[in-house]
Amino acid sequence: MSGTTTRKLGALESIRKFCVACMGGSYQLVAECGALGCPLHAFRMADAEGADRPPVRAIRRQCLICCGDREGVRACAASPGCRAPFEPCPLWRFRLGSRPEIFERRKRKAQRTPLTLPGLTLPKPA
């Protein structure tokens, strides 16, 4: 294991990297992209100006298009640690529609909060 660490990309940087890969590595083609129907089109220059939704929501929409449904998005195999024949997807961290830190925080909170049903009272722990 080497001493180098890789920086995790933000949502806008991930979109930019995805768009460059989509256009075969050409930054010029990304700038000239005419795919107005693409959910990532407004963010392709790593800029959120003029966008009608947050970048993580646009990533979620792109992932739904790619995988077909919610279960497919959750089970996506293009994680950063994937092996051949798959390519790691720069959007993978944001595929669930929120920043990974927020998603993990919500998940931990849901695990700590007991499920309560209407009409059922539970004794408070001592």
pLDDT tens digit sequence for 66-122: 888 999 888 888 877 777 666 788 888 888 888 878 878 888 888 887 767 777 766
Percent of the chain with pLDDT over 90: 13
Q: Helix crossing, 55-67 with 11-22: angle to 10°?
A: 40
What local confidence, expressed as pLDDT, does residue 32 receive?
92
Please give the model's pTM, rounded to 2 decimal places.
0.71
55 contact partners, CB below 8 Å, separation of at least 6? 11, 12, 15, 43, 48, 94
